[in-house]
Amino acid sequence: MSEACALLIHPNPDNGLLDSILPICNAVVLSPQRHSSQQSAQRNSRVTQYWYTPGQDLLELAIHICRAHKINAVPPLWEGMVESVSAITAALGLSGNPLSATQSSRDKYLASLRFAEHKIPHPRTKLCDAALDRPAQIESDAEYPFIVKLPRSTNSHSVALIRSREELSETLDVFRRLYRPDSPNRLSGLYLSNSGRQPFLVQDYVAGLELNIDLLYTAADHRILGIFEKYPMTGPTFEEVQSVYPVNLDQEALNLCISTAVNAVRALGAVDGAAHVELRMSNQGPAVIEVALRPGGFYTPRAIRYLTGVDPIAALTKLLLNHTLPQLDLLPKDRACLYGAVNVAHEGRIKTIFSDDFARRTRNLLEWEILKRPGDWITPLPAGTDYHLARFILGGEFREQLETTAEIIRRSITVEMEAPS
C-alpha cells in the first residue's frame, strides 16, 4: 500500500472504482454535490470527499484541495472530465495528456482534422449547424445513408443513421431540442456550453464489423488491454447491446486494427494515459469512429480483468504514479467474455418489470444487475442515453455459448410501460 494520493473526479464514484484505487494509494474523491459516494467516503478513512456544483471552476477547486492533500495522480475516468483533468495535471505538474489532446478527443470534429492531418482512416466529416442548415443543403454534400451526431456527445447519444430526408428532418428537430437550455437529458452538460451555436456532424457511413480497443500508453510504448466486438447494429440508432471477446477477425486484420487504433491515439497528441478506441473494419480496411482518452466504461474494465488479470483503473493509476505499464501477455485464446445490457426501446415510465431470473441461474454469469425500478422514466436514443433496464457480464470458454446465453437473458426480462396520459 502506497502513501501516494489520487484525485478522482467522477459523477458516480462507486465502490467498484474505489476498490480499484485503494490497494494502490489513498483517494480524494470529487463528485457532484449530494452524491451517493458520500457513504463510501464516510466509511473508509483512506477516502476524503469533496463536492462540486454545476459550473464551478474545477481547476481552482483542485488547487484548493492540493493545499490540504499532496496529490500525485489525477486519472481521467469519465468522458465529461477529461479536459478538466488535463488542465489540473498541467497546473500541478503531474503526468497526463496535454489539454490539446483531450480537447481533440472530446470534440469529434477536431479529432477528424487531426486524423486527416496524420492520414488516419476516418469517415469524411463535415461540421454543420442545426439552427441554420436545411436538409437540402446537407444532401448536396452527403450521400444517403450517412451518420449525424453531436460533436461532444458520448454513450452513442445523438448518433443516428440517416436514410432519407424525412429521417434527417426528424433528427435535426431532435438536435434543436437537445440544445435548448431546458433539455432534460442527463448528459446535456457535455455540450450545452456550445449552446450559442448548435453544431452537429455529418459523416460518411462505414459498414462493417465494429471493435472496441482499450489500451494504456506512454510517449514511447503501449499495452493493449482488451479487444471486443460490438453487437451488429444497422441503425437508425446504435444503442449498446453487447461486446464480446474473441472477435471474428484473422490475426492479420486484427493487427491492422490495433495499429490503426494506436496511431489514432498518437495523432491526437496523447502521451500518458488510457484510451478507448472505436473503429469499424470495412472492405476497405479499418476506419476510426471515435477515440476517448480514458478507460472504457460500462463493464469494460470488469471484462478486461476477467480476461487478463489486469485492472485497467489500477493500471492507469500506476502508470500516472510511476510511469510504468503493466506486464501483460497476449490476450488469452482459451477464454471468452461477453458484457451486455437489456434495453428498453420506447420512452416512458416503467410500470412493471418481469423476470424469470434466468441470468442468476447460468453458470457463466460473472455479474448481473437490474438498473431500473417501477416508476423510473426511460429515454432511449437518440434523445437520451438512460435506456438500460439491466446489465450483465458472462465468462467461459466459448464465444458462441455466451452469445446464446446473452440472447436468453434479454428474452427473460421484459418491461410493461404505463399508458400515456
Span 119-139, pLDDT tens digits: 999 999 999 887 666 788 888
pLDDT at res. 177: 79
Q: Which three cell numbers stand for residue 27?
A: 483517494
Whether the predicted pLDDT of 262 surpasses 50:
yes
Lowest-pLDDT range, 108-117, 246-255, 385-394?
Answer: 385-394
pLDDT at 167 > cutoff 80 = yes
Strand, coil or helix: what is 119? Answer: coil
pLDDT tier at 112, thresholds 50, 70, 90: very high
CA–CA distance, 213 with 25 (Å, rounded to integer): 27
| Crossing angle of the two packed helices 82-92 and 58-66, in degrees rounded to 10 | 40
Among 113-122, 168-177, 205-214, the minimum mean pLDDT is found in 168-177
Whether residue 271 has pLDDT greater than 50: yes
pLDDT at 195 over 70: no
Give the CA distances from residue 70 to residues 62, 85, 152, 272, in Å, rounded to whole numbers and listed in that order: 11, 16, 32, 20
- pLDDT at 421 > cutoff 70: no
What is Dmax (Cα atoms) for the chain?
Answer: 62
Residue 41 reports pLDDT greater than 60: no
Cell of 108: 469529434
For residue 278, give the C-alpha cell: 472505436
- Give the pLDDT score at 189: 56
For the chain, percent of residues with pLDDT exceeding 90: 63
Asked if pLDDT for residue 93 goes beyond 90, the answer is yes
Give me the mean pLDDT over the 87-114 stretch.
Answer: 96
Number of Cβ within 10 Å of residue 122's Cβ equals 27
pLDDT > 70 in the chain, percent: 92
pLDDT band at 185 (very low <50, low <70, confident <90, very high): low
Mean pLDDT of the chain: 89
pLDDT of 257 higher than 50:
yes
Model pLDDT, residue 183: 59
For range 139-164, the mean pLDDT:
87
pLDDT at 192 over 70: no
Q: What is the pLDDT of residue 37?
A: 45
Residue with cell 446535456: 188
What is the pLDDT at residue 43?
Answer: 55
pLDDT of residue 29: 92
pLDDT at 391 over 50: yes
CA-CA-CA-CA torsion sign (143, 149, 150, 152) = negative
Task: Report pLDDT for 26.
Answer: 93
Q: How far apart are CA 75 and CA 265, in angstroms?
A: 17
What pTM does this model have? Answer: 0.92
Q: What is the pLDDT of residues 323-368, one digit of tens each?
A: 999 998 778 989 999 999 999 888 899 999 998 888 888 889 999 9
Q: Residue 21: what pLDDT?
A: 94
**How sure is the predictor about 38, in pLDDT bands with cuts at 50, 70 and 90?**
very low
Q: Encode burial over 378-405: b for 16+ CB neighbours within 10 A, e otherwise.
A: bbbbbbbbbbbbbbbbbbbeebeebbeb
Range name among 22-26, 191-195, 280-284, 352-356 with the lowest pLDDT average: 191-195
The model's confidence at residue 140, banded by pLDDT at 50, 70 and 90, is confident
Residues 267 and 284 sit within 8 Å (Cβ to Cβ) = no
